[in-house]
Structure 1
């Protein structure tokens, strides 16, 4: 073995030892592995039931495939989180969230408890099963590079003010999807209302400690970007951490109150969903 070989071997060993020495370190923004180790477990949820637990950094993103029936919970610990959300049928991602139908079918423009999140194929991807915030938006979508560059001077995914669109693209790429696959998104925790003259008014968050829960009515691919809302009037890029948890559960059944009390248009969407999933043995 030459002197050069010894030097290289020593360098590799040193690099390995350095990496292993850091293995016990953590970050405030990270997935908790296993999910049962989350220090922020939702009330009443057994640790063993958790399948996803993560704190998403301000200006960060995350993604996950969830089984039908899963419960998905977002928590806003500071009052400044803004969870921009895209949902896809995990079996056939060409079926995806349709924000227009999500507002049109239930005849309700504002997201809240029991609001269905529909696909363009007339099926219920998920439903809002719990909401302590009441400050959400299905009108504005997320931020773009051009918007953030104009307002903050930077939109790079790794920069100080990433756009929601750029982060969605990164998340989508990990599942073989690209720019053409990303529809308009909705967002939780930063409210928008339509004024009498038709103008969109930003209402901000409801304060620290609020949450939103969803039921996955189909197998879901979930993409999340935690970025400042496009109508936020504050000159600085303001967004707080976002906590995400998911656990096993059951979808809405034909005898469930959301199903039986639904208006005819929404009942049809639930029937379409059940028909699709039962044909696939889900």
Structure 2
């Protein structure tokens, strides 16, 4: 059956495995009046052209704790007081937008690249995941093993073409295997002629363990130092990532809360 590919098809999926329930929702972009309202609330002169405010990827434990990924929380981690791509870039940006009389003021006022170091939103009222730094790393070799993929979904949170000067986007995908799940959220920024930046958040959980591992990394390069790389790769995050120097890695253990019942002395109860 040939589905029409244009337009946004709303879809909501739930997938349950063990004590976990994965929910993904993908729907249309936010209406412009809602975007304007949100921009005001967030003290930002503008928000991404394509903002999927109702899109979400959520992983919820039967004890009502978990983690989710959504666009609004991702935007809250954008530094709205300063421009993170410093002067050289701002200069080029202003020249390229000479037609817009307020561009100078805007460049000063916010990070127009929407760079975010968002790593997900912890959820849970009574019980919450505890985050601690760790030296333990995600075993990427294990992830390469050809395990059956029981569920896969990708959710776009926002995208902006930076007035035809590149792209800024963030999306999150999950794959669930019989004994584990893996999440990759990727922020990808390309400012044409200036720089490429990738912020990745990887989350891995093995069913036998009472925690997830979360690794956050930033890779970045000026375009001028990527002369040896074919420009056709600049638009493909998967291809260009390996050419971008690693600037930062942070590894965390996301430990699951103990059940309240266990505090009542029932430690050995199976």
Instruction: Give the TM-score normalised by structure 1.
Output: 0.23
Specify which structure has the higher proportion of strand: 2
Structure with bigger RCO (C-alpha 8 Å, 6+ apart): 1
Instruction: Give the TM-score normalised by structure 2.
Output: 0.24
